[in-house]
Every structure is written in structure tokens, then in C-alpha cells.
Amino acid sequence: MSASTQGAKAPYYYVPTPSSHPVMAAVGLFFVILGAAMWINGHEWGKYSFAAGLAWWLVVLYQWFRDAAHESESGLYGRKIDVSYRWSMSWFIFSEVMFFGAFFTALWWARMHSVPALGNLDNALLWPDFKAAWPSVVAGATASPANVVEPFQTVGPFWLPTINTALLLSSGVTLTIAHHALREDLRARAIGFMWVTVLLGLSFLCVQGYEYYHLYTALDLKLSSGIYGTTFFMLTGFHGFHVFIGMLMLLFITLRLQSGHFTAERHFGFEGAAWYWHFVDVVWLGLYTLVYWV
């Protein structure tokens, strides 16, 4: 009898021993955020804090996932734990919806309220040359005062964002194929398509990194390029970070599949990672439409 089958019949609710993983992960994220803020503002030590915090966080994340996988394969997780994990993942994704919802709302508010308000009659005395258009400052604009934001060019959907859209949508398809293969107990097929999914996610990150380089060097579009640059890089940057997290989750699940973990009937670790990845896909579709097209 497999550990997963034993866990399915466990009549109790397993309570793990106290763990330092949540606190240690929070410490790593603290230094990631601190380092990012310092780096953006030109502090030399910011990049070192960011790199050290990210490395620390990744190590803790690996240990956390490893311990959870060991508990699952030891038969300690019953159906009650399975239900708890499903609810926990659902609420986690809901919190992420609220997180991105705040940034989408900021984008909508800036375009529909803040910029038009700056172009009304009251502000005409302060900025007589200001044009209430989105984005507010572009190459060749004469908005006053001219030294507030350096002129920049906007970014459209072609071609890098469209390529990334194709990559993410394709990864959702390959992930679904892998899921169906696992449910049919076709492990080799599931592993193969999972590796394809991971590679598609990595390709997305590489393309986005190249896009950022192009924006900074060719279009002069930076994080400091007014409300347009701020909302653009905050939305796409946080989404890219979530793609990175999702790719790590899928990589760990793939390695577990290769180690013989999961069964056709019980594989919520796989399903939870798949939920998260599909959520990342949906967020990107919103970004692709509202940031690059509209």
C-alpha cells in the first residue's frame, strides 16, 4: 500500500511540529524588498541585500517544500489535510487577486481620473501646456514643467509581449496535458509535458528580461517615467516575479514526479501548483489587454 493511499485512510488531522520556515521565509523576503528599494534609489548595497535575501528565501522555500513532501509521502496527510490545503490555496490565490486588483485599480484611476483632473480648468493656470492624455509625457511632448519626467516612448503589444502571451498560453496547455496524463497514470507523459511547461515559463522570463533591457535603452522608459512607467513596471514586474515563483513550484513538482511521488487519485501538490500557474496566465491576459493594447 502506497503512502498516498495510507494517507487517504488516516482518520486523524495531522498537526506538524512547530516550524521556523514561515519566519525564515519572511526574513528573506524582508531583505529582498529592502534591497530592491535601496537598489532602485541608487544605493550600492541594495543589490547585495536583494541577492542575499533572494538566495536565503529560495533555500527556505526548498526546505519547506521538501518537508511538506516528506510528510505527504510518509502517509501523514489524510482527506482532512487535503481539504485544508485546497481551502488554503484558494484563499492564497484570492489574496493574490486582491494584490493585482490594487495595481489594476491604480492604473484605471490614473487614466480615468487623475490625468483628466490635471487637465481641467483649475490646473490650467499651473500647467497651461499640459495635455490630459495617456501617457501624460511622451517623446516630443511639451508638458510643463518639462523637468518633471524625461520624455519616453510607450510600448505596444508587438512583438515581445505577444510572444510572451503565446508562451504563457502554451504553457497552460502543456500543464493541462500533463495533469490529464497523471490522472490516467501515464507518468512518463506527465513528466515530459511538465518539463516543457517549465521551459516555457523560463522562456517567458528571458523574453521579459530582454524587453526590459529594450525599454530602458531604446525607448527611455523607466520606473521613474511618471505614472505610466511606475504602473507599467509595477504590474509587469510583480507578475514576472509570480511567474518565477510558479516556475519554481512546477519544477519542484516535476522532480517529485520523477521521484515517484503522487498517484492518479491523490496529487493535490500538482493541482495546487497548476491552479497558481493558471492564475498567473489570467493575470497576464489582463496585463496584455489593459497595459499593452488599451
Question: What is the per-residue pLDDT across 45-78, written as a single tens digit (0 to 9) for each?
Answer: 999 999 999 999 999 999 999 999 998 888 888 8
CATH architecture of 79-293: Up-down Bundle (1.20)
Q: Higher pLDDT residue, 18 or 254? A: 254
Domain ranges of the chain: 1-77, 79-293
CA angle 287, 278, 196 (to 5 degrees): 105
Question: What is the per-residue pLDDT across 166-177, written as a single tens digit (0 to 9) for each?
Answer: 999 999 999 999
CATH entry 3.40.50.1100 includes domain 1-77:
no
**pTM of this prediction?**
0.87
What secondary structure letter does DSSP report for 292?
I
What secondary structure letter does DSSP report for 11?
-
